[in-house]
Chain A
Amino acid sequence: MKRGLRIVAATVLLLAVAAGCGKGGGGIYLITREESSGTRSAFITLFGLEIPDEQGRRIDHTLATAEITKDTSVMLMSVAGDPEAIGYVSLGSLSGSVKALKIDGVAPGVAAIRSGAYAVVRPFNIITGSAATSPAAQAFVAFILSAEGQAVVEAAGYVPLAEPSPQGSATAKLTGRVVVGGSSSVTPLMEKLQEAFVEKYPGIEVDVNQSDSTIGVSDAVTGRCDIGMSSRALQPSEIARGARETTIATDGVVVIVSHANPVNDLTKEQVRQIYSGEITAWADVEVGA
């Protein structure tokens, strides 16, 4: 019995010592998304973290020790609960629980994106394969691109297209089923579009499945869904497989920190340095106004 106690005590001590050796506070805690995420792809492209190597392969320079999450809500919760964390989300997913940073002095927002002042933007695309889509899917696409659909986009907090197309000629009696799948960033918007669409075309059923941009593109190509959702531009290999994209809205990528973090403003270069590990402490980032 005594020996057992001694072993337990030794383990506890060892754990405590190991804990004491850990890094102290003040370091920047990076949170990023999984590699197939459209938000990550847009983020590393926009902030210059993706650099081609000698062989032309595009290498992601995000620090390998950055936490990886698959989920926008986990990202928001993790950043909200950690004053040293930094992360990024889609403008439409931004919530009051975290603080959106100004980039080069410009606060993210629909107006700033429309005027071109906030430049960290990416398109929201719908993807179709080379095969012809069903009339129901065509009607849904026409609805999204019409003035009516674009009003939904604006109401949801995203930037609508500059020129909506005229309303499609489909009749309200159309029936069928449309399967939409892909980017978790586009999903909240797509669900709102779906609600408005189904109200107008009660005979059509629309299923929205959330995964990520890469899956959305490949499912649209293989026909597993009628319309894919992607929050980044198509890659050459995907175009070669027959994917075609149509932009339905513009979204901003917002860099977020906890409300407890005094930093309000970062430059694009600072964000790049933070995510590539050149800046590792918040003290090294000048606290902006």
Chain B
Amino acid sequence: MRRIHSFLKQRKEAFARVVFLVAACVCVLCVALICIYLFASAIPAIAEIGPLKFLGGRAWHPGVGEFGILPMMVGSLYVTAGAVAFGVPVGLLTAIYLAKFAGKRVARALRPLIALMAGLPSIIYGFLGLVVLAPLLRNLLGSGKSILTASLLLGIMILPTIISVSESAIRAVPAQYYEGALALGASHERSVFFVTVPAAKSGIMAALVLGIGRAVGETMAVIMVAGNQAVLPEGILSGVRTLTANIVLEMGYATDLHREALIATAAVLFVFILLINFLLSLLKRRDVR
């Protein structure tokens, strides 16, 4: 009897192990499939266009066989950098405020709002950008749909991610750090900014990675405020087309090489994200040492 019991238990154990393994494999399989599909379609296309012409070409005219995605790469970079420049300081300061300075009532009022911000569909942000931000910037600076508009909008969109992830990172720092600083005579502000926040660095880095990931990948909102011109931007007030916008604008009707060039654009986007994650994990590792 006991034997049967333990045999059943083993069976159950093995079964549970398989279930969990399968669940884990779904993730891996998805990433693997995306990789295989993307690169299997992208590499022949890039080879046909020519890697230099594809990555370094300034002209995107699918109708006459010119597929240069340099303007879109530059566009994605500028817009993302702008979003980080705007979103990270605001988000980080908000997180510090929520974790260490805000009274309970204020925090209780703010947190649901930030959660709501995270849940809003991007098309709503796009609408906000189109109806409020673009006319406002047009009146102030003379150009409504530009890198600046897209950056500001994306900066707003990455706020909830940055705030919630860095707030929990700051909260996770042991209270002894802060108390120790106080005991050494530092003020509340000094303790928070020079002891607690640096100790939360790796969590804040994670917030940065997630924020950048969202900014690079965002499409629907950007497409409504960036102007989508496939030319190299002249300045921060020129319109710009991002890699994601390029795919969405043209995928519907693209055929043959044009279609493959768009898939190759997606592959470049994929490599972009990989690079960003890799660079930041390097940064993080150095910090730990």
Q: Which of A12-68 contact B (CB under 8 A)?
A: 15, 18-19, 21-25, 29, 34-36, 57, 59-60, 64-68
Q: List the B side residues contacting A264 at CB < 8 Å.
A: none
Q: Given A19-B236, A60-B63, A211-B252, are A78 and B142 also a contact pair (CB < 8 Å)?
A: no
* Cα-based distance from A25 to B237 in the complex (angstroms): 12
| Complex Cα gap A66–B64 (Å) | 19
Q: B193 within 8 Å of A by Cβ?
A: yes
Question: Which residue in chain B gives the minimum CB-CB distance to A53?
Answer: B64
Query: Across the interface, do B130 and A77 meet the contact criterion of CB distance under 8 Å?
Result: yes
Q: Does A114 contact B (CB under 8 A)?
A: no
CB of A69 within 8 Å of the partner chain: yes
Q: Is A194 an interface residue (CB 8 A)?
A: no
Interface string of B247-260 (1 = CB under 8 A from A): 01110110100000
Query: Known interface pairs A57-B64, A68-B227, A74-B130. Does A82 touch B138 (Cβ–Cβ under 8 Å)?
Result: yes
**Residues in B neighbouring A36, C-beta threshold 8 A:** 250, 252-253
Q: Which residues of B contact A251 (CB under 8 A)?
A: none
Q: A22-B237, A35-B250, A65-B231 are in contact. Are A8 and B143 (CB under 8 A)?
A: no
Residue of B nearest to A57 (CB): B64
Count of A residues near B, CB < 8 Å?
Answer: 35
Interface size class of B (residues with CB under 8 A): 35 or more
B217 proximal to A (CB < 8 A)? no
A65 close to B142 (CB less than 8 A): no
Rounded to whole angstroms, the CA-CA distance of A143 and B141 in the bound complex is: 53
Residues facing A in B223-258 (CB within 8 A) are 223-224, 227-231, 235-239, 241, 248-250, 252-253, 255
Question: Which of A25, A59, A69, A212 contacts B228, CB < 8 Å?
Answer: A69
**B238 CB contacts on chain A under 8 angstroms:** 65
A215 on the B face (CB < 8 A): yes
Q: Which residues in chain B, 137-184, are within 8 Å of chain A measured between CB atoms?
A: 138, 141-145, 148
Report A277 CB to chain B, min CB distance, Å.
Answer: 12
Q: Are A19 and B231 closer than 8 Å at their CB atoms?
A: no
Q: Which residues of B contact A34 (CB under 8 A)?
A: 249-250
Interface bits A66-86 vs B (CB < 8 Å: 1, else 0):
111110001001100110000
Q: Is the CB of B89 within 8 A of A8?
A: yes
Q: Is A11 interfacial (CB 8 A cutoff)?
A: yes
In the assembled complex, B62 has its CB within 8 A of some CB on chain A:
yes
Q: Is B107 an interface residue (CB 8 A)?
A: no
A67 CA to B229 CA, complexed, in Å: 6
With A18-B236, A23-B237, A35-B250 as given contacts, are A78 and B145 in contact (CB-CB < 8 Å)?
yes
Contact present for A35 and B138 (CB under 8 Å): no
Question: What's the least CB distance linking A132 to chain B, in Å?
Answer: 25
A22 in contact with B141 (CB, 8 Å): yes
Hey, which bits of chain A sit against chain B, CB under 8 A?
1, 8, 11, 15, 18-19, 21-25, 29, 34-36, 57, 59-60, 64-70, 74, 77-78, 81-82, 211-212, 214-215, 218
In the assembled complex, 7 residue pairs joining A and B whose CB atoms fall closer than 8 Å, in A order, are: A1-B193, A22-B143, A24-B142, A67-B228, A68-B249, A78-B134, A78-B144
Residues of B within 8 A of A (CB): 62-64, 85, 89, 130-131, 134-135, 138, 141-145, 148, 193-194, 223-224, 227-231, 235-239, 241, 248-250, 252-253, 255
